[in-house]
């Protein structure tokens, strides 16, 4: 029984049961059958074995497992004798099954059909284009000559041989592909041509090109194992949070040739449209070509629909296989196929990458077709895909008056505006300097991945809908237009007819239509499809956390409700003071020397706040509206620059000197730990009085208008750290509110923000005085770490480099520190008062990773910006579904 290498040449040869017999592996994997096989064989190997077992036409072959890859690394990058002998045994088996032979340089039997193989990587989680593939392995001058004798097709043999030398040289020895300038078929005989190519190899490596097929295979397997650690694969794993330790499997398969002439070809297709989700095969193919030609975008392929016209039998067979695969895997498939002399072979299948629109449509359709459950549909959508719907497309009205300068293929939807750059490192550099860029390339390759990630959008001159640029951009949710053949890329510029666009010029690209525009275009939000609403309905059914919005105006509330908010968890009232007609009034209030002057300014502010609150209550109706009293240090409202100070002194009729004195009096060394939050009301109770008066008056007025529903304002006190603070401020709130309410009917609630470690420690006491708690995790993180939330990013990158922290604690909640405080605070609070409502309103409330944690803590709600609402809801539903599975 083999340990490292398994054949999938015959139906039923590689199954869960056959693997289970190998006791060595039993304890290494969890007991979900597919996971055992996928971890061991990699995704590609798993599907090849599976498709063989389904009786589909798969070229015979074998998989060298991820275990072998791990063994290779353990043995200082050498293939153990055990692995070598298992490879040999499987090649012999393959020779037998295929009736072909590995031909050594000196083998002379005339009528042997040479065995050529493809050698492909395949990790457990698919990493498209990140690792390496070598095709046509097994060729040397001897086997090539035999192939010519048998096929009588010199052109085909040289094409195949040339590809092999190039691929082998570049992948195994890093010889640049560009060194191999194309030699036309009839210039020389192929032995001369192969000598020219092999000389290039020798020049770069100082060794001769390996002629023995076994030696070629061993080198190729090692190179593919090594490619697990190439920079682009590492970057991809980091970006997709894939662990480093899995390793890749290697699949060795008998070659089938798409480059044998006009009855041959190769293609890539999806079982449904990966852009729109439409249930119709979508893909491309090339006649007389090998696989990489389609993906690399070297030739622009034909749409798959044409295959139906040109080879109807093959197409019908392919369609049938497509349906079988979808039924087997319950998902849209991304497939590679080759036609060799009118015979169809499947080379690969996997779950297809898709745009956000397609992901939603396909998930909803699969539920409708009874292929998956609603929970499965929810688990299939990534929160970022939902986020896509919250992003922009170009403003339609603006577009109507604009003429595109060119048009390419609409490969990945969305709208992007940015300065043109022509390579990935420029893209990274410019973005680091604060620019937005569009990466323009002839075609992209895996080396460009970091540049693609940082760019707003990607535009290529060549390549089709399944080219590298298209597939990768779609997976990233990045706007992308490909195959824009009209553009002519020159040195640091490109031309479209007579228009010249230079590096640094701004262009706008539309990934939904393929249009390219010169200059910047206003963007507006993407349309939400009917499927999106159906899907979000299911999300609502399966989530437990309530999702509120952080909203500071009636306009924000309207948007938040449209996006599914279940209330407002945080209205930051200071934002209402920054508006143009109010800022000077609050400044007047701040610089006033007497209580009377301060009160006059507050009376003016009261009118504005009341009007705002009326509009907000009218919008939110009977859903919760949590209004936080003023929070920031007062000096934030005062001007910093001399020019602005001079202007303000004129406007407010105060001498510049007096104004400067006031500003310096308010100056604090550590304002975020200073005179802010509830501390302001200890010094200036009249500010809290004004705000409460505005809230209660507005609520009463709206209650009068909306008679049938009950308005219950929720007033929240920021930055509490002491029970006496809350008692002091509650007194102000209650006294002010009671005078206004008098004998009318209005309930209100008072809540506490938990933003200080001290507040957590005394949470039971604070609960006695509170109707609700809201964890302000921005400040709680700041105050727990002692990191300034405004400056920490400057040095946190050094922490990531040194593996001290994995991620920014202001982005993903620090579970073991701040998270423990939230857990303790909520426990103490609920123990004291079981009716206490507890939520989070810091930025973490919109972060899927943090939401998972909040769901586990059994909090009542999260609150986030309006455009994060659907994302937060999906994350909450996924967390809850996952939790109920355990």
Sequence-distant (≥ 6) Cβ neighbours of residue 34 within 8 angstroms: 16, 46
Nearer to ligand PEP by Cβ, of 417 and 859: the residue is 859
- Contacts (CB under 6 A) with ligand PEP, residues 541-600: 570, 572
For residue 762, the minimal CB distance to Mg ion (Å) is 18
| Residue (338 or 865) nearer to ligand PEP, CB | 865
Q: From the list ligand PEP, Mg ion, none, pick the one residue 842 interacts with, judged by a Cβ distance below 5 to 8 Å according to partner type.
A: ligand PEP
Site for Mg ion in 493-532 (CB under 5 A): none
Q: Binding of ligand PEP at residue 159 (CB under 6 A)?
A: no
Paired with 670 in beta bridges are: none
Residue 334: name its binding partner from ligand PEP, Mg ion, none (Cβ under 5 to 8 Å by kind). Answer: none
Among the residue ranges 227-235, 429-437, 539-547, 775-783, the one whose residues contact Mg ion (CB under 5 A): 775-783
Partner from Mg ion, ligand PEP, none contacting 599, C-beta within 5 to 8 A by type: none
Could you tell me the smallest distance in angstroms from the CB atom of residue 779 to Mg ion?
4
| Total residues binding Mg ion (CB under 5 A) | 3
Compute the least distance from the CB of residue 839 to ligand PEP, in Å. Answer: 11
Alpha-carbon distance of 760 to 743, in angstroms, equals 37
SS3 track for 113-178: CECCEEEEEEECCCCCCCCCEEEEECCCHHHHHHHHHHHCCHHHHHHHHHHHHHHHHHHHHCCCHH
Q: How many angstroms separate the CA atoms of 596 and 100, rounded?
A: 100
Length of the chain: 886
Name residue, tokens 């082998």.
Answer: 168
Looking at residue 802, the DSSP 8-state letter turns out to be T
Smallest distance from Mg ion to CB 755, Å: 5
Q: Which of 779, 814, 847, 855 binds ligand PEP (CB under 6 A)?
A: 779
Residues that bind ligand PEP (rule: CB under 6 A) add up to a total of 10
3-state secondary structure 625-685: EEEECCCCCHHHHCCCCHHHHHHHHHHCCCCHHHHHHHHHHHCCCCHHHCCCCCHHHHHCH
By CB under 6 A, residue 778 contacts ligand PEP: yes
Q: Which stretch binds ligand PEP (CB under 6 A): 38-46, 182-190, 417-425, 770-778?
A: 770-778
The binder of 387, among Mg ion, ligand PEP, none, by C-beta within 5 to 8 A per type, is none
Taken in order 788, 793, 794, 797, the sign of the CA dihedral is positive
Q: Which does 777 bind (CB under 5 to 8 A by kind): ligand PEP, Mg ion, none?
A: ligand PEP
SS3 state of residue 843: helix
- From 69, 468, 480, 571, the catalytic residue: 468
Could you say whether residue 552 binds Mg ion (CB under 5 A)? no
Give the interface segment with ligand PEP, choosing from 242-250, 287-295, 653-661, 771-779 (CB under 6 A): 771-779
Q: Is 468 a catalytic residue?
A: yes
Phi, psi of 11 (to 5 degrees): -55, 130
3-state secondary structure 464-501: CCCCHHHHHHHHHCCEEEECCCCCEEECCEEEECCEEE
Residue number, 557 or 571, with CB nearest to ligand PEP: 571
Paired with 509 in beta bridges are 416, 516
Q: Considering beta carbons, is residue 189 or 790 the nearer one to ligand PEP?
A: 790
Out of 61, 776, 819, 839, the only residue in the binding site for Mg ion (CB under 5 A) is 776
Q: Whose CA is closest to 837, among 758, 767, 760?
A: 767
Q: Which stretch, 161-169, 245-253, 278-286, 777-785, contacts ligand PEP (CB under 6 A)?
A: 777-785
* Cβ atoms within 10 Å of 304's Cβ, excluding its own: 22
In the region spanning residues 729 to 768, those forming contacts with Mg ion, defined by CB under 5 A, are 755
**CA 845, CA 792: separation in Å to the nearest integer?**
20
Select 504 or 671, whichever has its Cβ closest to ligand PEP. 671
841 binds, among ligand PEP, Mg ion, none (CB under 5 to 8 A by kind): ligand PEP
Which one, of 767, 784, 766, lies nearest residue 844 by Cα?
784
Least gap, CB of 649 to ligand PEP (angstroms):
29
Nearest Cα residue to 710 out of 628, 626, 624: 624
Task: Say how far apart CA 503 and CA 439 lie, in whole Å.
Answer: 10
CB of 842 to Mg ion, least distance (A): 7
Q: Which one of 69, 480, 841, 864 is the catalytic residue?
A: 841
| 626 scored as a contact of ligand PEP (CB under 6 A) | no
Closer to Mg ion by Cβ: residue 566 or 779: 779
Rounded least distance, CB 778 to ligand PEP, Å: 3
Choose the binding region for ligand PEP from 356-364, 508-516, 682-690, 776-784 (rule: CB under 6 A). Answer: 776-784
Using CB under 6 A, pick the residue from 258, 564, 776, 809 that binds ligand PEP. 776
* Residues 806-865 interacting with ligand PEP (rule: CB under 6 A): 841-842
For residue 750, give the 3-state DSSP assignment: strand
631 binds ligand PEP (CB under 6 A): yes
Q: What is the SS3 assignment for 588-624?
A: HHHHCCCHHHHHHHHHHHHHHHHHHHHHHHHHHCCCC
Q: How far is the CB of 870 from Mg ion (least distance, A)?
A: 25
Q: At what angle do helices 81-98 and 66-74 cross, to 10 degrees?
A: 150
Active site residue 841: yes
Query: Smallest distance, Å, CB 753 to ligand PEP?
Result: 7
702-722 CB burial, b ≥16 within 10 A, e <16: bbeeeeeeebbbbbbbbbbbb
Contact partner, 572, from ligand PEP, Mg ion, none, Cβ < 5-8 Å per class: ligand PEP
Residue 478 or 628 having the CB closest to Mg ion: 628
Least distance CB 570 / ligand PEP (angstroms): 6
Q: How far apart are CA 338 and CA 256, in angstroms?
A: 7
Q: Which is nearer to ligand PEP, 574 or 689 (by Cβ)?
A: 574
Between the alpha carbon of residue 22 and those of residues 15, 87, 265, 488, 701, the distances in Å are 12, 18, 39, 57, 76
Q: Which does 513 bind (CB under 5 to 8 A by kind): Mg ion, ligand PEP, none?
A: none
x-or-dash string of contact with Mg ion, 777-806, rule CB under 5 A: --x---------------------------
For residues 726 to 765, the per-residue mask of contacts with ligand PEP, x marking binding by CB under 6 A and - elsewhere, is -----------------------------x----------
Q: How far is CA 359 from CA 46, 389, 872, in A?
A: 24, 12, 18
Active site residues per annotation:
468, 841
- Positions in the binding site for ligand PEP (CB under 6 A): 570, 572, 631, 755, 776-779, 841-842
The residues of the shown chain that bind Mg ion, judged by CB under 5 A, are: 755, 776, 779
């Amino acid at each position: 029984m083999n340990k490292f290498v398994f054949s999938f040449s015959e139906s039923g040869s590689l199954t869960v049961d056959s693997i289970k017999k190998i006791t060595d592996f039993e304890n290494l994997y969890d007991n979900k059958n597919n996971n055992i096989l996928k971890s061991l064989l990699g995704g590609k190997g798993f599907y090849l074995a599976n498709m063989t077992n389904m009786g589909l036409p798969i070229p015979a072959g074998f998989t060298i497992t991820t275990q072998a890859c791990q063994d290779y690394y353990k043995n200082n990058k050498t293939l153990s004798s055990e692995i070598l002998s298992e490879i040999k045994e499987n090649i012999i088996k393959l020779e037998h099954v295929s009736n072909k032979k590995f031909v050594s340089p000196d083998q002379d039997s005339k009528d042997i059909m040479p065995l050529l193989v493809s050698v492909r990587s395949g990790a457990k989680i698919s990493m498209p284009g990140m690792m390496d593939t070598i095709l046509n392995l097994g060729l040397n001058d001897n086997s090539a000559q035999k192939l010519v004798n048998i096929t009588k097709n010199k052109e085909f043999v040289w094409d195949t041989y040339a590809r092999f030398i190039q691929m082998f040289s570049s992948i195994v020895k890093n010889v640049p592909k560009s060194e191999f300038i194309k030699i036309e078929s009839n210039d020389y005989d192929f032995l001369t041509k192969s000598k020219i190519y092999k000389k290039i190899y020798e020049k770069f490596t100082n060794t001769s090109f390996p002629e023995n097929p076994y030696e070629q295979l061993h080198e190729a397997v090692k190179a593919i194992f090594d490619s697990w650690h190439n920079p682009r694969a590492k970057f991809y794993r980091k970006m997709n949070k894939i662990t480093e330790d899995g390793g890749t499997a290697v699949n060795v398969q008998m070659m089938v040739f798409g480059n044998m002439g006009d009855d041959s070809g190769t293609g890539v297709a999806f079982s449904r449209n990966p852009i729109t989700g439409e249930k119709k095969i979508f893909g491309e193919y090339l006649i007389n070509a090998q696989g990489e030609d389609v993906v690399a975008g070297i030739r622009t392929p034909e749409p798959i629909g044409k295959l139906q016209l040109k080879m109807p039998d093959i197409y019908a067979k392919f369609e049938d296989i497509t349906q079988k695969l979808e039924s087997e895997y319950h998902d849209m498939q991304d497939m590679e196929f080759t036609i060799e002399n009118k015979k169809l072979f499947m080379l690969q299948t996997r779950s297809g990458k898709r745009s956000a629109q397609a992901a939603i449509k396909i998930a909803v359709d699969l539920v409708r077709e009874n292929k998956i459950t609603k929970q499965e549909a929810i688990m299939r959508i990534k929160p970022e895909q939902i986020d896509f719907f919250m992003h922009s497309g170009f403003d339609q009205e603006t577009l109507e008056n604009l003429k595109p300068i060119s048009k390419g293929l609409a490969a990945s939807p969305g709208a992007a505006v940015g300065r043109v750059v022509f390579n990935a490192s420029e893209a990274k550099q410019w973005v680091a300097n604060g620019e937005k860029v569009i990466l323009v390339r002839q075609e992209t390759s895996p080396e460009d991945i970091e540049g693609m990630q940082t760019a707003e959008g990607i535009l290529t001159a060549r390549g089709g809908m399944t080219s590298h640029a298209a597939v990768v951009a779609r997976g990233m949710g990045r706007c992308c237009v490909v195959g824009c053949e009209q553009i002519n890329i020159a040195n640091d510029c490109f031309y479209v007819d007579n228009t010249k666009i230079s590096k640094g010029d701004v262009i706008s690209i539309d990934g939904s239509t393929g249009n390219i525009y010169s200059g910047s275009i206003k963007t507006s939000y993407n349309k939400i499809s009917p499927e999106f609403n159906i899907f979000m309905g299911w999300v609502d059914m399966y989530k437990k956390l309530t999702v509120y919005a952080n909203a500071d105006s009636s306009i924000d509330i309207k948007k938040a409700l449209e996006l599914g908010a279940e209330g407002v968890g945080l209205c930051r009232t200071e934002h209402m003071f920054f508006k143009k007609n109010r800022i000077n009034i609050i400044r007047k209030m701040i610089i006033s020397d007497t209580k009377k002057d301060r009160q006059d300014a507050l009376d003016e502010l009261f009118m504005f706040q009341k009007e705002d609150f009326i509009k907000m209550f009218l919008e939110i109706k009977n859903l919760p509206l949590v209004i936080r009293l003023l929070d920031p240090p007062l000096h934030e409202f005062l001007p910093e620059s001399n020019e602005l100070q001079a202007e303000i002194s004129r406007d407010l009729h105060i001498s510049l000197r007096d104004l400067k004195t006031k500003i310096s009096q308010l100056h604090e060394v550590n304002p975020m730990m200073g005179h802010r939050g509830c501390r302001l009301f200890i010094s200036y109770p009249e500010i809290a009085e004004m705000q409460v008066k505005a809230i209660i008056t507005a609520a009463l007025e709206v209650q009068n208008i909306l008679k049938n529903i009950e308005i219950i304002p929720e007033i929240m006190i920021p930055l509490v750290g002491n029970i006496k603070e809350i008692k002091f401020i509650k007194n102000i709130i209650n006294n002010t509110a009671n005078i206004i309410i008098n004998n009318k009917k209005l309930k209100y609630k008072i809540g506490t923000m938990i933003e200080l470690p001290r507040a957590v420690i005394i949470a039971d006491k604070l609960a006695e005085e509170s109707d609700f708690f809201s964890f302000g995790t921005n400040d709680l993180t700041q105050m727990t770490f002692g990191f300034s939330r405004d400056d920490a990013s400057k040095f946190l990158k050094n922490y990531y480099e040194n593996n001290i922290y994995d991620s920014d604690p202001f982005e993903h909640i620090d579970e073991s520190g701040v998270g423990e405080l939230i857990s303790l605070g909520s426990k103490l609070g609920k123990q004291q008062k079981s009716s206490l409502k507890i939520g989070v309103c810091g930025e973490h409330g919109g972060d899927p990773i943090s939401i998972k944690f909040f769901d586990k803590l059994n909090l009542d709600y999260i609150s986030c910006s309006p455009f994060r609402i659907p994302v937060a809801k999906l994350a909450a539903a996924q967390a809850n579904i996952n939790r109920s599975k355990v």
